């Protein structure tokens, strides 16, 4: 039997783990891959985007749970 050479995995840009590409979400800042584990922990930004935004808390979210630009995770506007 031939060995399957295709791979359905990507490297999480927040934690560095290799996960299935279908089990993750895009970074709120640039769209790169964030794994489902980081997403469940509340991480919305990759390491590079988190480093560019000065008020981002550890874990990749801005104060109040918003991403850079004032959007909440998922692209919705935060409610007051």
Q: State pLDDT tens for residues 15-30.
A: 999 988 888 999 999 9
Q: Could you tell me if residue 45 is inside a domain?
A: yes
Task: For residue 49, give its domain range.
Answer: 9-56
* Of the candidates 56, 23, 54, 53, the residue with the CA atom closest to the CA atom of residue 38: 23
Q: Could you tell me if residue 34 is inside a domain?
A: yes
Q: Could you tell me if residue 25 is inside a domain?
A: yes
Pair 72, 66: CB distance under 8 Å:
yes
Query: Residue 56 has what pLDDT?
Result: 59
Q: Could you tell me if residue 68 is inside a domain?
A: no
What is the value of pTM for the model shown? 0.60
Number of domains in the chain: 1
**How far apart are alpha carbons 45 and 47 in whole angstroms?**
7
**How far apart are alpha carbons 6 and 16 in whole angstroms?**
20
Other CB atoms within 10 Å distance of the CB of residue 65: 12
Q: Could you tell me if residue 69 is inside a domain?
A: no
């Amino acid at each position: 039997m031939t060995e399957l050479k295709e791979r359905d995995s990507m490297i999480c840009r927040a934690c560095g783990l290799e996960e299935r590409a279908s089990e993750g979400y895009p970074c709120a800042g640039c769209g790169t891959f964030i794994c489902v584990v980081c997403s469940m922990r509340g991480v919305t930004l990759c390491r590079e985007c988190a480093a560019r935004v000065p008020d981002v808390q550890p874990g990749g979210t801005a104060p109040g749970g918003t991403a850079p630009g004032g959007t909440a995770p998922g692209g919705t506007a935060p409610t007051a």
